[in-house]
Structures are given as C-alpha cells and as structure tokens.
C-alpha cells in the first residue's frame, strides 16, 4: 500500500516487497478512490535491502522477501501488526512467532511448458525457468534438474502442465506428482512409479499422506509452532472437533490432551489417511468425509469440548459462524492463512466468542504470508 506524489492511495504489486519509505515508479490504473498498479522501477531503496540469495528472486515473484535478508522477520511482524491494528483494534494483544532460519518448503509446484521447467510469475502464466530453489529443502531443490532432465528426455509424461515435488520429514526421498495425480519417486537411477505414502516424523508424532495432497508447507516448523502454541494455551478437554482436519495434524499434535476426537474433512483420501494416522497413534476418533458448513449442527459440543477450525484461505462461511454461535463447547480455536479473512471471522464470531489469545506464526518464510491463530472462549 502506498501514496502517490499527490497523496492518493495506491495498491501496488511488485515481485519483491516494498519497504516502508521506499520510492518507486509504477504503472497505475486509477479507480474512483484509489489507484492500482505494478511497480516498474525502484527510485530509492531501503539501505537494509541485501543481495537476494535466489538467482530469480526479482522475476519469479514466489518469495517477495528475499532482499529483506535478516530484516525480513521484522518487516513481516510490522505487516501483521498493521493488519491486526486496522482490523481488530490497537489494543488487541498478540504474539509473534518468527520462523527459524532452518525452515524450508517440503512442497513446491513447478510448471513444464514442453521445453522448460520453472515457476509461474505471480498472477501470470509467464514461466521463469529454475534449476534450483533455495526456499525448498535441499533434496527438493536438487531434484529440479533431475525432473527437467527426465521430462526433456521423455522418461516422464511430457504433456505441458503442473508438477508438484514433495518430500517427507526429515526431507530425504522426493516424489513428483503430475496433474493427473500420477506419482514417481526419485532414486539414484531416475524416477520410478510409486504408490508409497509420504511420511513425516514430527517429534513423537508420525503422519502419513499421499504425495500431491494438502500438507503444511514446512512441516517440522509448523508442527513445532502449532504444537508449542496450543500446549502453551493449555488446550485440553473431552472431545476435540478437528474441523477442516486434513490428514489429522492437529488431532495428532494435541494427542492425549483430549479423550476423543471428531475430525471432519471434505477430501476422501485425506480422511482415510487421518483414520490410519490416528489409529496407529492409538487415539480414539471418528473421521468423517463432509463439508464442514453442512455438517456442523446447532449446539455442537458440551462444556469441556474444543472446536478447532482450520479452513482454506477464504475462511468461514457466514452461516457457519451463525451456527457456531449456538455451540455448547467451551473453547474455539480458529486458524487462518489469510489475515483479512481470519480477522473478518474473528469479528463475526465475536458476539458470542471472546478473543482470549491471538498469535501470528511465520509459517511461510520469505513470503508476505502468515498463519493467524486465535483462542476464543464462550462469553458468559
Ligand atoms: C488449510 S487446510 C488444513 C488441513 C489440516 N488442518 C492441516 O493443518 O494439515 C484446509 C483443509 O480443509 C479441507 N476443506 C476445504 N473445504 C472444505 C469443506 N468445505 N469442508 C471440509 N473440509 C474442507 C481441505 O481439503 C484441506 O484439507
């Protein structure tokens, strides 16, 4: 967000994040009350900008904070503070959990155009060829030229399209999944068809899921951050309603802090893995394939129960917020990866649920994205 020379509000797009106070040139389309545009050139740069450790940082647009270097964490904390102040008020206390330098992506999405493999530039289908990705775990980054080689040599299906590279925890074996969900595992002599699940060893917790399915981008750091946070909030009780539960990450992290778990998730394969994960951990649970908004009944839970919601970026439907107002559970945890949608939902729930704890986790280092987590308790 910026201001034009004559003080009008501007919403600007740039491949790299703008630092407060920098002056740029931009191509702007003026709307009734503000302008929207793309940065074409930096006129003054913040002296804290550093050389990006990624060769395509300025064109790829996937990680906007490469040039922020060690200042990235503070810049991001300021962005989160600004959002929370505007949306929830200056007096709302919150805590900030910066990412450790070791956090890397365990999942990356590349595109093959029939000749080159790379990332799409942000909001476009312009391919930026890459042979390495320093934001990804080393085995993933090293697998990029191996995938390029196999595609160019027709050892893998060559149709243009998206490829996901993923790895487990610790990051060792690499899988490549095409748009049709077909998966290959990388071995020293090349890619081999695979039906093996990905395994994440997260502290004392083991989770399995199929390659190509949703899972946290930096699993070891996400497990450490969520696990530590929810334990510090002393989250425990009778039944945990793990809504939008995926393959069971939260149910597993909270383990025996609850006597029983009900996990609701729309993906059939994810629910099958959640069932297996929770069974293997000896955690009694019901895992259901359903649309959360359709499933949540009036009066969900009883005192002592906790409802945890981790919806996709769009957040909660307003009808679901209304139904949660009648819930019998004592506490509600809301997780959101889109700050604006998250704040909107906290406000929607606020008539009945009091915001007790709020934390912002840097689960997506090098990007401007954050994960927000709120603990809300029923107003008396
Ligand atoms: C942000 S992910 C969270 C997954 C899980 N909590 C985790 O951390 O691994 C959101 C999950 O909600 C699921 N989902 C999306 N829309 C849904 C809906 N309407 N009802 C139930 N699940 C849904 C997606 O398949 C995805 O697994």
**pTM to 2 decimal places:** 0.94
Are 193 and 234 contained in the same domain? no
H, E, C per residue of 272-340: HHHHHHHHHCCCCEEEEECCHHHHCCCCCCCCCCEEEECCCCCCCCHHHHHHHCCCCCCEEEEEECCHH
Atom of ligand 1 nearest to the CA of 292: 20
3-state per-residue secondary structure call for 90-101:
CCCCCEEECCCC
Both tokens of 77, joined, read 């904390």
Same-domain check for residues 38 and 117: no
Q: Same structural domain for residues 179 and 232?
A: no
Is residue 67 domain-resident? no
Do 28 and 134 fall into the same domain? Answer: no
Closest CA to 56 of 43, 66, 46, 42: 66
**303 and 332 belong to one structural domain:** yes
Q: Does any domain span residue 328?
A: yes
Query: Reduced to 3 states, what is the DSSP secondary structure of residue 198?
Result: strand
* Residue 185 is assigned to a structural domain of this protein: yes
Do both 238 and 191 map to the same domain?
A: no
> Does residue 360 share a domain with residue 299?
yes
Task: Tell me the pLDDT of the chain (380 aa) as tens digits.
Answer: 899 999 999 999 887 888 889 999 999 999 999 999 999 999 999 999 999 999 999 888 789 999 998 889 999 999 999 999 999 999 999 999 999 999 999 999 999 999 999 999 888 899 999 999 999 999 999 999 999 999 999 999 989 999 999 999 999 999 999 999 999 999 999 999 999 999 999 999 999 999 878 899 999 999 999 999 999 999 999 999 999 999 999 999 999 999 999 999 999 999 999 999 999 999 999 999 999 999 999 999 999 999 999 999 999 999 999 999 999 999 999 999 999 999 999 999 999 999 999 999 999 999 989 999 999 999 98
- Identify whether residues 188 and 222 lie together within a single domain: no
* Calpha distance 97→173 (Å, rounded): 29
In residues, how long is the chain? 380
- For residues 207 and 248, the answer to whether their CB atoms sit within 8 Å is yes
- 266 ligand 1 Cβ < 6 A: yes
Indicate whether residue 216 lines ligand 1 (CB < 6 A): yes
204: left (phi over 0), alpha (psi -120 to 50) or beta: alpha
For residue 56, tell me if it sits in a domain. no
Residue 312 beta carbon below 6 angstroms from any ligand 1 atom: yes
In a domain, 149, yes or no: yes
Give, using CA atoms, the residue closest to atom 13 of ligand 1: 244
Residue 89 is assigned to a structural domain of this protein: no
| The two structure tokens encoding residue 280 | 């293997």
Shared-domain flag, residues 185 and 239: no
* Closest approach atom of ligand 1 to CA 247: 9
| Residue indicated by tokens 């998206």 | 162
Element holding 28 (H helix, E strand)? strand 23-30
Question: How far apart (Å, rounded) are the C-alpha atoms in residues 251 and 79?
Answer: 30
The residue whose C-alpha atom lies closest to atom 4 belonging to ligand 1 is: 246
Whether 175 and 249 map to the same domain: the answer is no
Rounded distance from Cα 268 to ligand 1 centre (Å)? 11
Give the total number of structural domains in the chain. Answer: 3
Distance 257 CA to ligand 1 centre (A): 22
CB-CB neighbours of 105 under 10 Å? 26
The secondary element (H helix, E strand) that includes residue 151 is helix 138-152
- Residues 26 and 207: their CA atoms lie apart, in Å, by 46
Domain that holds residue 41: 2-47
Q: Do 229 and 352 share a domain, yes or no? A: yes
């Amino acid at each position: 967000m910026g201001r034009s020379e004559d003080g009008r509000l501007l919403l600007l797009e740039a491949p790299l994040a703008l630092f407060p106070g920098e002056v740029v040139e931009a191509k702007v389309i003026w709307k009734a009350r503000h302008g929207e545009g793309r940065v074409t050139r930096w006129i003054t740069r913040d002296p804290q900008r550093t050389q990006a450790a990624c060769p395509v940082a300025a064109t790829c647009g996937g990680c906007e904070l490469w040039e922020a270097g060690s200042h990235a964490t503070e810049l991001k904390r300021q962005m989160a503070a600004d959002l929370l102040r505007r949306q929830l008020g200056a007096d709302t206390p919150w805590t900030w959990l910066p990412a450790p330098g070791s956090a890397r992506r365990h999942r990356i999405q590349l595109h093959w155009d029939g000749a080159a493999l790379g990332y799409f530039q942000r909001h476009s289908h312009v391919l930026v060829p890459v042979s390495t990705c320093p934001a990804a775990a080393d085995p993933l980054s090293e697998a990029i030229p191996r995938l390029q080689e196999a595609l160019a040599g027709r050892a893998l299906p060559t149709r243009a399209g998206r490829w996901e590279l993923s790895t487990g925890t610790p990051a060792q074996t690499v899988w490549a999944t095409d748009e049709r969900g077909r998966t290959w595992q990388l071995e020293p002599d090349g890619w081999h068809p695979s039906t093996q699940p990905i395994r994440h060893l997260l502290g004392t917790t083991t989770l399995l899921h199929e390659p190509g399915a949703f899972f946290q981008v930096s699993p070891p750091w996400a497990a450490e951050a969520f696990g530590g946070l929810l334990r510090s909030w002393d989250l425990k009780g009778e039944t945990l309603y793990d809504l939008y539960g995926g393959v069971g990450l939260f149910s597993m992290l909270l383990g025996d802090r609850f006597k029983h778990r009900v996990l609701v998730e729309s993906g059939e394969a994810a629910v099958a893995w959640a069932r297996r994960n929770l069974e293997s951990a000896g955690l009694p649970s019901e895992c259901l394939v359903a649309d959360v908004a359709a499933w949540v009944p009036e009066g969900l839970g009883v005192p002592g129960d906790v409802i945890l919601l981790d919806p996709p970026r769009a957040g909660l439907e307003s009808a679901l917020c209304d139904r949660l107002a009648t819930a019998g559970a004592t506490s509600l945890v809301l997780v959101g990866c889109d700050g604006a949608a998250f704040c909107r939902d906290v406000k929607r729930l606020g008539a009945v649920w009091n915001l007790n704890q709020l934390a912002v986790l840097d689960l997506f280092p090098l990007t401007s994205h954050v994960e927000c987590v709120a603990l809300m308790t029923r107003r008396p």
